[in-house]
Amino acid sequence: MASPGGAVGPPSPAVNGFRRLWQDLHDIGRSRDTGGYNRFAWTREDHDLREWFTAQCQQRGLDVTTDRMGNQWAWWGDPDAAVAAGDPGVVIGSHLDSVPDGGAFDGPLGVVGALAAIDHLRATGFTPTRPIGAVNFVDEEGARFGVACAGSRVITGVLGADRARGLTDRDGTSMAEAMRAAGRDPGTLGRDDETLARIGTFVELHVEQGRRLVDLGHAVGVGSDIWPHGRWRVDLPGEANHAGTTRLEDREDAMLGLAAMIIAARRAATQHGCVATVGKVNVVPGGVNAIASGATGWLDARGADADAVRRVVADVGAVVADFDGLVTQESWTPTTMFDPALAQQMAARLGGVPVIGTGAGHDAGILANDGIRTAMLFVRNPTGVSHSPDEWASADDCVAGVLALADVVSDLAGADAVRGDATDEQAEGPAA
């Protein structure tokens, strides 16, 4: 297999470790029925993943710290000395949580890839001239408390501490309560300037969640931008009553508003050239033979143009108003540009790989919008499927991503370029 940069270096035993790292995570939060993953913030599974990350970092002699939100950072070198010298470090990593019944790659590829890249750099004798950090962001998907990228949003102050603490899951458990149950003090939440100052550059390795790299014939690509996107909660009122004895004309059925809202979202997205999704609903009381007294649907809307996304939400809002419903914005991420010069530098270094945009949100985007020099590397996804148990990437492509990451880090954190290639053993890595 050719390395992402086109150059072929010595086989690295450290990159061979990628498969072992990957296997460590295989069973954590995995559904026996679907093979998908359920790894939500501050649950048992999240705890196990965090413990795994800590143990792996400690085995490598990396100093592990947690920030005000509980994101985990591990450092090779002294990040504060670098800050004092005015030349902060290079951070790589991603997240280990998942959407409900999610895939194995979205997030873990970037965390496992960060550890494997560090192993590779070390095995090839690389000496960093800047500290290198590995991060595991907490609650990137927002699957439990509703706000995506909660870990990076809280430390950048985009998500306020009081609001974060008060977010609730389906069972009514607040984030503050969940954090306390997981042994963390929610009182620490807030913007974390000390942590942010340590990040000179952030590079997130991630599985592609589309088919651009397939079409372009590349195993690895560099990120250019993220579409503007947001989430809105839509509450629709109704009146509980008997399904058999209440005349149709006497009903206040919350489900009719919900149905109209879902259809309106699709129609408006088509009209304005966007995408819109209602993937989560809650119906009260939820009885087959009871008219719904309330219904909530969550609208996820995205597109290349922020004004067009806003028009989708406005159109949906107009329909919802006809049913006396209420639309509440839960999050909004504006158009996000990764550092264009860095993207070009990385693409050139990796042998002219494509620079592509995405409609998926990432912690990298939140950091970029906070003014941090940020980049992403994407690994080819043969089907493009993501947020599904069917999400997949080949072992060769994952290793190509790790090698690309190591190569980029060697460029950003030191004078010596490091390149490598996969061996046959590596090619047996993560499987379907």
Using CB under 6 A as the criterion, which residues of the chain lie in contact with ligand GLV when the complex forms? 141, 148, 360-361
Burial 78-111, CB ≥16 within 10 A → b, else e: ebeebbeeeebbbbbbbbbbbbbbbbbbbbbbbb
Q: How far apart are alpha carbons 425 and 79 in whole angstroms?
A: 35
- Of 82-90, 104-112, 222-230, 330-338: span binding Mn ion (CB under 5 A): 104-112
Q: What residue ranges in 81-238 does DSSP mark as E strands?
A: 89-95, 132-137, 199-207, 220-226, 229-237
Span interacting with Mn ion, options 102-110, 115-123, 181-189, 366-374, rule CB under 5 A: 102-110
Kindly state the smallest distance separating residue 141's Cβ from Mn ion, in Å: 5
Which of ligand GLV, Mn ion, none has residue 139 at its interface (CB below 5 to 8 Å by kind)?
Answer: none
State the greatest distance between any 2 C-alpha atoms of the chain, in Å, as a whole number.
78
For residues 26 and 22, what is the distance between their CA atoms, to the nearest angstrom? 7
Give the burial string for 312-327 (b: 16+ CB within 10 Å, else e).
bbebbbebbeebebeb
Between 195 and 336, CB nearer to ligand GLV: 336
User: Is there binding between residue 200 and Mn ion (CB under 5 A)?
Assistant: no
Q: Which stretch binds Mn ion (CB under 5 A): 100-108, 230-238, 270-278, 334-342?
A: 100-108
Based on CB atoms, which residue is closest to ligand GLV, 209 or 410? 209
* Contacted entry of ligand GLV, Mn ion, none for residue 148, CB cut-off 5 to 8 Å set by kind: ligand GLV
Min separation Cβ 52 and ligand GLV, Å: 21
Shortest Cβ distance from residue 166 to Mn ion (Å)?
24
**Residue with smaller CB distance to Mn ion, 34 or 127:** 34
Per-position x/- string for 55-94, each x denoting binding to Mn ion as judged by CB under 5 A, each - no binding:
----------------------------------------
Q: Give the pair of three-digit tokens for residue 251.
A: 């009903």
Give the shortest CB-209-to-ligand GLV separation in angstroms.
7
Q: How far is the CB of 43 from ligand GLV (least distance, A)?
A: 18
Residue 107 lies near Mn ion (rule: CB under 5 A): yes
CA dihedral 195, 402, 350, 73 (to 10 degrees): 0
CB of 361 to ligand GLV, least distance (A): 4
Cβ-based neighbours of 424, under 8 Å, separated by 6 or more: none
Tokens of 341: 């010069």
Note whether 328 and 275 are within 8 A (CB): no
Neighbours of 262 (CB within 10 A): 19
- How many CB atoms are closer than 10 A to CB 114? 30
Are the CB atoms for 204 and 376 separated by under 8 Å? yes
430 binds, among Mn ion, ligand GLV, none (CB under 5 to 8 A by kind): none
Q: Which does 107 bind (CB under 5 to 8 A by kind): Mn ion, ligand GLV, none?
A: Mn ion
Please report whether residue 139 would count as binding Mn ion according to CB under 5 A.
no
The helix (run of H) or strand (run of E) holding residue 282 is: strand 275-284
Select the residue interacting with Mn ion from 97, 106, 225, 315 (CB under 5 A): 106
Q: Label residues 148-168 b or e (16+ Cβ within 10 Å = b).
A: bbbbbbbbbebbebeebbebe
Please state the closest distance from residue 274 (CB atom) to ligand GLV, in A: 14
The smaller minimum CB distance to ligand GLV, of residues 141 and 315, is found at 141
For Mn ion, give the closer residue by CB, 111 or 196: 111
Nearest distance, CB of residue 203 and ligand GLV, angstroms: 18
Using a 10 angstrom Cβ sphere, with 0-12 exposed, 13-18 middle and 19 or more buried, the burial of residue 415 is: exposed
| Binding footprint of Mn ion on the chain (CB under 5 A) | 106-107
